[in-house]
């Protein structure tokens, strides 16, 4: 455990992370405001502008705190995108923060460098970890041993959900503080729609009120279980399927295969909406009756949070890291214990057999859960208060 923060240091939280993201920038703005209310400040250093597999539309000028994209090298090794930014050494010596919150991945060269005590000085080093046991790629072996060694150099951890908290305690031990820091969304933008909002969304999309709409937002990749999701929809009884619609929002390598399966469907509809902006995503969530995510491996999906705030029942895989924080089986949806087509079909059938009042109650419970644990201001205040506690340790 680190000693108390030196009072000669700045009262700044330095966030070091891989790239800017459209959902983190607004949260960091709120966190900056909350820290200022407590006599502290926020500064953010990014390792790179973007990574090859991300298609985000970024508005960097919306950042209301000091920030910088560090110069460096950014090779790509298969699906791994390491960043090496040697200037982090001089940055840390110049800024002398009270706390360093490091995100991205445990094995980024820049993060590994900044986590070393002889470089970080007496700043309190916190790792922002979204991994959990059901999503980790290397649970055993040399890489797992290296990960545990790296994690045990930190003074504390920030995690987005209960599964990540259990994983980090198993990896790094129980002696270090673990703080709750879930990803957040614009909870006003994704608020539960009125009936008029839902009717308007359906009218815009040309969907009759009688049709049951199931929406999934994810990359069209094998790890998201999209082929099994479509196969599960195909296995529904014909009479149930003819009044249902499955909508996939996102892009990926399985798009062509999914297009082919959708065109072969002889009853019901699978609609591939492609990559959409946030306004169009909200329109589909307002038009939807239920949100579905059939991931095989998923650390902490943002889309589930968006759907919960939108007041939708949830059908989500047990492999999603935040499922236990957002879904109560049979209360606000159905838990997918397995990603197979048969299990998916059973869950979809159970939902489609429910009446309108049951669906409304499920959606209301989803929204209540989201408001209790994922409101942006509450998350920022909770984390800032935890930081102040670390300073007094």
Q: Are residues 210 and 143 in the same domain?
A: no
4, part of any domain:
no
Determine the Cα–Cα distance for residues 58 and 77; give it in Å rounded to an integer. 24
7, part of any domain:
no
- What pLDDT, on a 0 to 100 scale, did the predictor assign at position 22? 87
pLDDT digits over 126-176, tens only?
A: 999 887 666 666 678 888 888 888 899 999 999 999 888 998 998 888 889
Q: Are residues 342 and 384 in the same domain?
A: no
**Residue predicted with more confidence, 107 or 84:** 84
189, part of any domain:
no
Average predicted confidence (pLDDT) for the chain = 91
- What pLDDT, on a 0 to 100 scale, did the predictor assign at position 2? 40
- What pLDDT, on a 0 to 100 scale, did the predictor assign at position 92? 95
Provide the pLDDT confidence category of residue 268 given band limits of 50, 70 and 90. Answer: confident
Q: Are residues 43 and 84 in the same domain?
A: yes
Q: Are residues 222 and 171 in the same domain?
A: no
The CATH number of residue 209's host domain is 3.40.50.2000
- Contact between 6 and 124 under an 8 Å Cβ cutoff? The reply is no
C-alpha distances out from residue 295 to 220, 239, 266, 344, 353, Å = 11, 27, 26, 11, 23
Q: Structure pTM? A: 0.88
208, part of any domain:
yes
76, part of any domain:
yes
- What pLDDT, on a 0 to 100 scale, did the predictor assign at position 266? 78
CA-based end-to-end distance of the chain: 10
Q: Are residues 174 and 113 in the same domain?
A: yes
50, part of any domain:
yes
Q: H helices of the chain, where?
A: 24-37, 88-95, 109-114, 117-120, 142-151, 162-172, 195-205, 226-234, 238-241, 255-264, 278-287, 302-309, 323-326, 341-352, 356-373, 376-392
365, part of any domain:
yes
Which 3 state secondary structure label does DSSP give 353?
coil
Edge-to-edge strand order for the sheet containing 67-69?
Answer: 67-69, 41-46, 12-17, 99-102, 124-128, 156-159, 178-180
- What pLDDT, on a 0 to 100 scale, did the predictor assign at position 175? 83
- Contact between 132 and 170 under an 8 Å Cβ cutoff? The reply is no
- Contact between 230 and 270 under an 8 Å Cβ cutoff? The reply is yes
Q: Are residues 273 and 240 in the same domain?
A: yes
Provide the pLDDT confidence category of residue 7 given band limits of 50, 70 and 90. Answer: very low
- Contact between 88 and 74 under an 8 Å Cβ cutoff? The reply is no
Q: Are residues 168 and 224 in the same domain?
A: no
Characterize 306-316 residue by residue with b for buried, 16 or more Cβ atoms within 10 angstroms of its Cβ, and e for exposed. Answer: bbbbbbbbbbb
pLDDT digits over 307-353, tens only?
A: 999 999 999 999 999 999 999 999 999 999 999 999 999 999 999 99
- Contact between 245 and 212 under an 8 Å Cβ cutoff? The reply is yes
pLDDT at 393 over 60: no
pLDDT at 217 over 70: yes
Q: Are residues 169 and 236 in the same domain?
A: no
Radius of gyration of the chain (CA): 22
Domain that holds residue 321: 195-373
Provide the pLDDT confidence category of residue 373 given band limits of 50, 70 and 90. Answer: very high
**Residue predicted with more confidence, 351 or 392:** 351
Q: Are residues 148 and 163 in the same domain?
A: yes
- What pLDDT, on a 0 to 100 scale, did the predictor assign at position 383? 96
Helices 142-151 + 162-172 axis angle, to 10: 90
Return the DSSP state at 242: T
5, part of any domain:
no
Q: What is the mean pLDDT of residues 186-205?
A: 96
pLDDT at 392 over 60: no
- What pLDDT, on a 0 to 100 scale, did the predictor assign at position 9? 54
- What pLDDT, on a 0 to 100 scale, did the predictor assign at position 138? 65
Q: What is the mean pLDDT of residues 354-358?
A: 96
Q: Are residues 64 and 122 in the same domain?
A: yes
> What is the tally of structural domains in the chain?
2
Q: What share of the chain in percent tops pLDDT 90?
A: 75
pLDDT at 1 over 60: no
- Contact between 365 and 328 under an 8 Å Cβ cutoff? The reply is yes
pLDDT at 195 over 70: yes
Provide the pLDDT confidence category of residue 106 given band limits of 50, 70 and 90. Answer: confident
Q: Are residues 215 and 166 in the same domain?
A: no
pLDDT at 6 over 60: no
Q: Are residues 285 and 166 in the same domain?
A: no
When mean pLDDT is compared across 49-53, 137-141, 385-389, the lowest value belongs to: 137-141
pLDDT at 194 over 90: yes
């Amino acid at each position: 455990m680190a000693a108390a923060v030196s009072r000669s240091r700045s009262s700044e939280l330095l966030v070091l992370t891989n790239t800017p993201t459209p959902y983190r920038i607004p949260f960091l703005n709120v966190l900056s405001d909350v820290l200022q209310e407590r006599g502290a400040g926020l500064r953010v250093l990014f390792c790179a502008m973007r990574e090859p597999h991300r298609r985000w539309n970024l508005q960097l000028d919306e950042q209301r705190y000091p920030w910088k994209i560090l110069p460096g090298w950014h090779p790509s090794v298969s699906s791994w995108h390491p960043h090496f930014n040697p200037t982090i050494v001089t940055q840390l010596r110049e800024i002398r923060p009270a706390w360093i919150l490091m995100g991205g991945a445990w094995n980024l060269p820049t993060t590994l460098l900044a986590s070393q005590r002889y470089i970080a000085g007496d700043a309190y080093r916190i790792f922002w970890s979204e991994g959990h046991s059901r999503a980790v790629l290397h649970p055993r072996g040399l890489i797992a041993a290296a990960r545990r060694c790296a994690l045990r150099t930190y003074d504390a951890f920030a995690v987005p959900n209960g599964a990540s908290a259990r994983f980090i305690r198993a990896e790094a031990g129980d002696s270090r503080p673990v703080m709750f820091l879930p990803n957040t969304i614009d909870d006003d933008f994704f608020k539960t729609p009125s009936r008029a909002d839902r009717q308007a969304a359906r009218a815009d999309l040309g969907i009759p009120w009688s049709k049951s709409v199931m929406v999934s937002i994810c990359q069209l990749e094998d790890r998201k279980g999209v082929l099994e999701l479509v196969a599960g929809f195909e296995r529904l009884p014909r009479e149930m399927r003819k009044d249902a619609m499955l909508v996939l929002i996102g892009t990926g390598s399985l798009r062509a295969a999914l297009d082919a399966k959708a065109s072969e469907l002889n009853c019901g509809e699978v609609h591939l909406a492609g990559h959409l902006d946030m306004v169009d995503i909200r329109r589909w969530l307002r038009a939807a009756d239920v949100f579905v995510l059939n991931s095989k491996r998923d650390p902490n999906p943002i889309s589930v949070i968006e759907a919960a705030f939108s007041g939708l029942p949830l059908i989500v895989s047990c492999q999603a890291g935040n499922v236990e924080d957002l879904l109560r089986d049979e209360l606000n949806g159905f838990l997918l214990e397995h990603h197979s087509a048969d299990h998916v079909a059973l869950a979809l059938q159970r939902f489609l057999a429910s009446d309108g009042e049951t669906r409304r109650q499920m959606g209301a419970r989803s929204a209540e859960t989201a408001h209790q644990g994922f409101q942006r201001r509450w998350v920022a205040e909770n984390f800032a208060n935890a930081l102040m506690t670390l300073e007094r340790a």
